[in-house]
Amino acid sequence: MYFVILGTDKPDMVQQRRDAISAVVSYVQDQSSHPDVAVHCAGPTLDEEGNMNGTFNLIEAPSHDAARDYLANYPLQKMGLLEDVIVRHLDWKTGCPE
């Protein structure tokens, strides 16, 4: 099953967000930390000036609980930098990009 995780950074967290980017990249790339989840696409969302203002992850997980567990250990979530996060099941209608 595919899931979209979309999070919005808390206000005034720009420097903390920049400081956390290497931890986020490591988490997303290190499959051993979440062996039941495959990350297909991930990256920061940007505001109109090009500053990071949130996060986007497209993952494949066996269940909604597994997707939430992935999020619970996501560095930005663990550090308390995300204000609003949604996890939504995605039903591909046009086919999953490879």
pLDDT digits (tens, 9 = 90+) for 88-98: 999 877 776 66
Considering only residues 94 and 69, tell me which one the structure prediction assigns the higher pLDDT. Answer: 69
Residue 36 pLDDT more than 90? yes
What's the mean pLDDT when you consider all of the chain? 91
Residue partners of 17: CB distance under 8 A and separation at least 6: 9, 44, 52, 76, 81
Average pLDDT over residues 10-24: 89
Query: DSSP 3-state assignment of 67?
Result: helix
What per-residue confidence (pLDDT) applies to 74? 93
Residue partners of 38: CB distance under 8 A and separation at least 6: 31, 59, 60, 61
What per-residue confidence (pLDDT) applies to 17? 87
Spell 22-54 as b/e; 16+ CB within 10 A means b.
eebeebbeeeeebeebebeebebeeeeeeebbb
Give the predicted TM-score (pTM) of the model.
0.88
